[in-house]
Amino acid sequence: MIRRGKSDGWLKLPHDAINSWSAMQGAELSGLRVSSDAEGEKQKGASLRVTKDGLTLADNPLIQVPRELVLSRETVEGYARSGDGSLRDVLEAAGDFAQTSRGAVLIFLLIQATHSCPDLPHSVDDERTLLAGTSLQPALHAKVRSLYREFDELKSATSKIGWCQQTWWDEIDGVLTFDDWLQLDAMYRSRALEFPNIGDAMVPLVDMANHASGNDTGALYECSQDGAALLLLREGRQLRSGEEVTITYGDEKGACEMLFSYGFIENGLDDARDIFLELRIPDDDPLKRPKEHVSAAAPGVRIYSRPQGVHWVSDYVWIICVNEEDGLQFKVAQTTDGGRELQVFWKERQLETLSELEEILRDEQQWDLFQLRAIATIQPRVIEQLDNLLETEPGLENQHVNVREGPAALARELRRLEIALLRRATQHFENEVRQCRLVDPLFPEVTIADFRRWRNWVSLPLSESFSSPPEKRTTSRSKA
């Protein structure tokens, strides 16, 4: 429905029409206009352009959008209370999902599209195979699964509402499909901004501002005291007529996140900036099931690059790297309502969340060894991801002859940037391995590079001395 509405024009207006719409609705632009594609910038679609020379701070706010035009959960609930029975029915049926900003806005957009729709078949080109080996592929699969679940829950919640059953879900005449829900989510993710005192919201006019990072960012957005959404020229900036006014979508967002949320990759990147790699607890870990049960952390590691070098962060890796012989314990406790819950302890100290574990381990005498276990867990995963990218790249060159060039070019760029980051990360971990030293009074000069040549080095219980010959030690599993 939505894809068809865009292509047929009944769900789309020319960009220039936004200028007259804003004047009618009471939204104010100071020295700006919404412009269609500039020459050589077709990928932007639309932008905000300066209409006079010498735009300065005196012209602030560049945009002022009345609060009632800001599409937030509060606004949607107001429309429902003011008499839109269809909207109210679906919001009530959707329950907790409609209590979130995203849920309320998606339902509102769906109702508006339904009101505008004359009819409906459609087709979808699936280009996801271009992402093979990239970190975007599992993220996209997880997102699609989540959207399917939401769509099924929406159908279940609204199928008993008469007009919903007839208009949306009827087997013959129903117009709503999963693709519509996917399109709505894309609209929301690519345009929603977080405003102070409002939360996540879609703001007309302001959402026409394209992204630029660092010193190239021309403006910022905030709220006035009366709740109006404002676009303000940054201090120290002065723009000439015809120049574009930009905001930042997040200077430190990685290439994968930018492509996932906004559909483009910023120019001039040396690497992907940020990548999330899934980690798994080994199957032979005797505490695998309780570890998975108590862990609310994202099951992976985030690797990111900054001018100072490559860094990584993960709450999850530490639960992989320790076990019962180290001090990790699980206990079943009875709750106040008579139920039971699994609790996690480190040497009799209860942990409220796994995010506490790293700080606790830092204070342990064996912190260096815990670090080495973490490196030994993450490093092979980095190499595996790099190998996946390099192995799938040649095959993609000769496939997908009918794929659009735009998505194909973006996929190639994402692969290039992620390969660059993973190569930097591989070198980073090799350097860490060379620099690490095991803290043992009997072997003060033994580095981890030397120690890795010993059999099952990471499986040694901390209670054992490193001075024993490795061939005499036995263990039931590897810890790293």
Q: Is the pLDDT of residue 464 over 70?
A: no
- For residues 57 and 226, the answer to whether their CB atoms sit within 8 Å is no
Least confident of 120-129, 229-238, 331-340, 403-412: 120-129
Q: What is the mean pLDDT of the segment spanning 366-376?
A: 89
Which CATH topology does 2-193 take? set domain protein methyltransferase, domain 1 (3.90.1410)
Higher-confidence residue of 59 and 323: namely 323
- Look at residue 240 and tell me whether its pLDDT is greater than 80: yes
- Flag whether pLDDT at 172 surpasses 90: no
Spatial distance between the Cα atoms of 323 and 343, rounded to a whole number of angstroms: 15
| 474 burial type by CB count under 10 A (0-12 exposed, 13-18 middle, 19+ buried) | exposed
- Please check the confidence at residue 192 and state whether its pLDDT lies above 70: yes
User: Does 479 have pLDDT greater than 80?
Assistant: no
pLDDT value for 462: 40
Extents of the domains making up the chain: 2-193, 274-435
Query: Does position 102 have pLDDT exceeding 90, yes or no?
Result: yes
- Tokens of residue 283, six digits: 């199957």
Helices (H), 31-100: 73-81, 85-94
Please report which confidence band the pLDDT of residue 470 belongs to, taking 50, 70 and 90 as the band edges.
very low
Residue 137 and residue 131 in contact, taking contact as beta carbons nearer than 8 Å: yes
Q: Is residue 279 predicted with pLDDT exceeding 90?
A: yes
pLDDT of residue 178: 92
Site of tokens 């769509």: 151
Which two structure tokens, joined as six digits, stand for 93? 């049926």
Q: Where are the beta strands (DSSP E) in 92-131?
A: none
Instruction: For the chain, give the mean pLDDT.
Output: 82
State pLDDT tens for residues 394-411.
Answer: 556 555 545 677 888 899
Tens digits of residue pLDDT in 416-457: 999 999 999 999 998 887 776 554 444 444 455 444 443 344
Inform me whether the pLDDT recorded for 39 exceeds 70: no
User: How high is the pLDDT of residue 246?
Assistant: 92
